[in-house]
A and B are shown apart, each in its own frame.
Chain A
C-alpha cells in the first residue's frame, strides 16, 4: 500500500471528522457476561481498545473469542455488563443496532461474500443501499479499495472464481467500504491454505499501519508479535492474561496460557521432548 492509498483509507476512517476518535477508547467492554442456555461462554470480560490500537485475542477453541467479537457487533444479545463504542453505550435499550454496526467492520473466517455478486458488487452493495452512494461514486471508491488489497484486476469475478485468500481480501475491502471506525477479524486466515495466509495478513498489517483500530482473533503468532500492540489470552470466557504480545508469548505468567502455547507448539521446547495422552499434548 502506498502512502497516498493509505491516506485515502485514513480519511475514509472518519478520524478527520467528528473528533470522537483519539479522545477516549474506541471500544470498551465492561463486565460482559453471556450464556447460551446453561453454557456460560463469557464470564465477566473487561477489555479496552484505544484508537489505532491492534488488540490480538488468542485462546483455545470454545473459550469465547468469537462470541466476544459477535457481542461487540451486536450479533449476540448480552446478559450482563455493557459495551461502549466511542463513548456511546451500544448495549443500552433502544439503540439503533444497524447504525451501530455501520461503524464496525467485521471479517469472518468463511469470508461470507455474497455468491451472486461480483467482487466489486460485493464491495459496493451496502454503500449503495445504506450510504446511498451513486453507483459511479461507489464503484470508484470500491476500485480504490480493491487496489489497496491488490485485487483491482478481479473486480468483475464472482467469489467462486477467486481463491480463498482473494475472497478474504475482497471481504476486507467490503468492510472498509462502510468506513468503519473499528475492524473485527475473527480467525480470518483459519480457512485458508497455508500459502494464502500471508496475503491476507499483509493487508491487515497495512491496515494497522495506517491507524485502523482492530480486534483480531487469530492463531497466527508471528502476526500477533509483529502487528499486535497488545495481546489477551482467553480461557473459559475470561481474560486470564494480557500484555505486550512478545511478553505474553515468550514469558506467559499464567499456567493456562503456558499450557495453550505449549499445546500449539508455540513455546520454545523441541518437538522431540513432547508426548501425548488422551487430553492432547502431555504437560
Chain B
C-alpha cells in the first residue's frame, strides 16, 4: 500500500522551489565551512608541526575538545550557550561556524601530520640554499606536506558537507531541514529520505571527484 502511493518525482516537483533553496543553503554553508576549515587546518597544522609556542598548545586543546565531544553538543553550545554569554549569531552563521570549527580541528591534524611527514633533509636543503625559515615553509614544507595531507583532508571536507545536515537541530533551512519539514506535513517520509540520500550521494561524489582531479594534478610525482 505504501509502495503504491510512493512517488518520488511528485515530492520533488511539488516542492522544488523550497528544496532548491535548501540545497543552495547546504552548498553555501558547506563552501564557507570547507574554506574556513582549510585555512584553519593549514595555519594551525603548520603551527603544531613547527611547535610554535602558545599557538601550538592552544591548538592541541582545541583539537582535543572538538574531537572528543559530540558535534551536536558543539552546535548546541554555539546556538544556545553562547547567547547566554551575550554572543548571538544568526542561524546561518551558527551553521557554517559550527561545522567549520569542527572541520578545522580535524583538518589541523591532517595538515600537522602532512607537514611532519616531510623529511627534515628537504627543509635542510631549503635552508642550505638560503631560504629563511618562513620561506622554507612556503616553498618546501607546504608543497610537499600539503600534498601528503590532501587525501585525509578530503575526507574531512566530505564530513563537513554531510554534517551540515545536523543543522536540522537548530531549524536552519538547509536541505535536510527543508525536506524533513515538508514531509512532516505531507507524510511523504520515504520520498523525503530517498531524495536526501540521492542528493547527498551526488554532492559527495561530485566533491570527491573534484578534489580527486585536483589531487591527481598535484600528487607527488612518484605516487602518480
Contacts and interface: CB of A to CB of B under 8 A. Distances in A.
Interface of A: 73, 75, 98-99, 101-102, 104-106, 108, 110, 112-116, 125-126, 129-130, 158, 160-161, 174-175, 178
A160 B222 contact: yes
B60 to A, nearest CB: 27
Contacts, number: 67
Given A108-B121, A116-B143, A116-B147, A101 B222 contact: no
A101 B133 CA distance: 12
28 contacts: A98-B135, A101-B129, A102-B130, A104-B128, A112-B121, A112-B122, A113-B125, A114-B122, A114-B140, A114-B143, A115-B220, A115-B221, A115-B222, A116-B143, A116-B220, A116-B221, A129-B131, A129-B135, A129-B139, A130-B130, A130-B131, A130-B135, A158-B221, A160-B221, A160-B222, A174-B129, A175-B129, A178-B130
Contacts of B125: 108, 112-114
Given A125-B139, A175-B128, 10 more contacts: A73-B128, A75-B124, A75-B128, A101-B129, A105-B128, A108-B121, A110-B121, A112-B125, A116-B220, A125-B129
Nearest to A125: B139
Contacts of A160: 221-222
A232 B130 CA distance: 28
Given A114-B122, A116-B220, A126 B130 contact: yes
Interface string B111-137: 000000000011011111111100100
Contacts of B139: 125, 129
Given A114-B122, A129-B135, A101 B140 contact: no
Contacts of A178: 129-130
Give the residue among A98, A106, A161 with the most B Cβ atoms within 10 A.
A98
Nearest to B147: A116
B219 to A, nearest CB: 9
B206 to A, nearest CB: 27
Interface residues on B, range: 20 to 34
A175 B121 CA distance: 15
Interface string B181-224: 00000000000000000000000000000000000000011100
Contacts of B132: 98
B144 interface: yes
A132 to B, nearest CB: 12
A208 to B, nearest CB: 20
Contacts of A112: 121-122, 124-125
A102 B130 CA distance: 5
Contacts of B128: 73, 75, 101, 104-106, 108, 175
B57 to A, nearest CB: 25
Contacts of B222: 115, 158, 160
A114 B144 contact: yes
B147 to A, nearest CB: 7
B221 A98 contact: no
Contacts of A105: 128
A174 B125 CA distance: 10
